[in-house]
Chain A
Amino acid sequence: NAGVTQTPKFQVLKTGQSMTLQCAQDMNHNSMYWYRQDPGMGLRLIYYSASEGTTDKGEVPNGYNVSRLNKREFSLRLESAAPSQTSVYFCASRTRDLAYEQYFGPGTRLTVT
């Protein structure tokens, strides 16, 4: 039982390049999330998916797109990377019940030059 996995762990992009961050969970969770974390800013929600087939914007969705490929996988795409998107990206999942916690993946450290 791997929990939540993310790939890649590290990535360096040039401005304007695109890439997809992958996330998968094996806990049969309905809800999945993408956050970014910047120094002093805490976790900010980019997009979330309450269930397979649905996605919704979070607090900071501009410049990102997501795909809930199936119940296990939720990917985050940067179409044209900008230096402001330099951050640590965390994927998380949880059951439908808000009484239960979110489980986080190990994160992807992205640098855009």
Chain B
Amino acid sequence: RKEVEQDPGPFNVPEGATVAFNCTYSNSASQSFFWYRQDCRKEPKLLMSVYSSGNEDGRFTAQLNRASQYISLLIRDSKLSDSATYLCVVTFNKFYFGSGTKLNVKP
């Protein structure tokens, strides 16, 4: 079983839509959680860390559910520029990356 699992998508949504991704992790003792964004043919870049109480950064909201071992990312009012692959990252002694969820925002 993979340490971190994500739906690969693609999620195809119109501009202005709200879209949510989930990511599940296998180790209940996981320590830190992140969402990264990766544009086509570019390196992954940190989108946001995920805190136990949930956190928001503009149009992006991240949630952590330790009991069910998943984290989520909600994007409101999608923009064309949000089109990318979103990687879920979980740490337990080292970093574990999900394979990513592809988002296409269409005009």
The interface of chain A, by Cβ under 8 A from chain B, is 33, 40-43, 45, 48, 90, 98-99, 101-107
* Contacts A/B (CB < 8 Å), 5 sampled: A43-B97, A45-B95, A98-B31, A98-B95, A99-B31
B84 CB, nearest partner CB in chain A, Å: 14
Give the docked Cα–Cα distance between A40 and B10 (Å): 12
In-complex Cβ contact of B44 among A40, A43, A48, A99 (8 A): A43
Chain B residue nearest to A4 in the complex (CB): B43
Chain A positions within 8 Å of B32 at CB level? 98-99
Give the docked Cα–Cα distance between A98 and B95 (Å): 8
B103 CB, nearest partner CB in chain A, Å: 16
Give the docked Cα–Cα distance between A99 and B32 (Å): 6
Give the docked Cα–Cα distance between A99 and B92 (Å): 10
B61 proximal to A (CB < 8 A): no
Q: A98-B32, A104-B43 are in contact. Are A42 and B100 (CB under 8 A)?
A: yes
Chain B positions within 8 Å of A99 at CB level? 31-32
B99 touches A41 (CB 8 A): yes
A40 touches B8 (CB 8 A): yes
B94 proximal to A (CB < 8 A): yes
Q: Mark B18-49, 1 if CB is under 8 A from A, else 0.
A: 00000000000001101010000011111001
B66 CB, nearest partner CB in chain A, Å: 16
A32 CB, nearest partner CB in chain B, Å: 12
Among the interface residues A33, A99, A102, which one has the most CB atoms of the partner chain B within 10 A? A102
Chain B positions within 8 Å of A101 at CB level? 34, 36, 46, 49, 89
Q: A104-B44, A104-B45 are in contact. Are A98 and B99 (CB under 8 A)?
A: no
Inter-chain pairs besides A42-B97, A99-B32, A107-B42, 6 sampled, C-beta below 8 Å: A42-B87, A43-B97, A45-B94, A98-B95, A101-B34, A103-B46
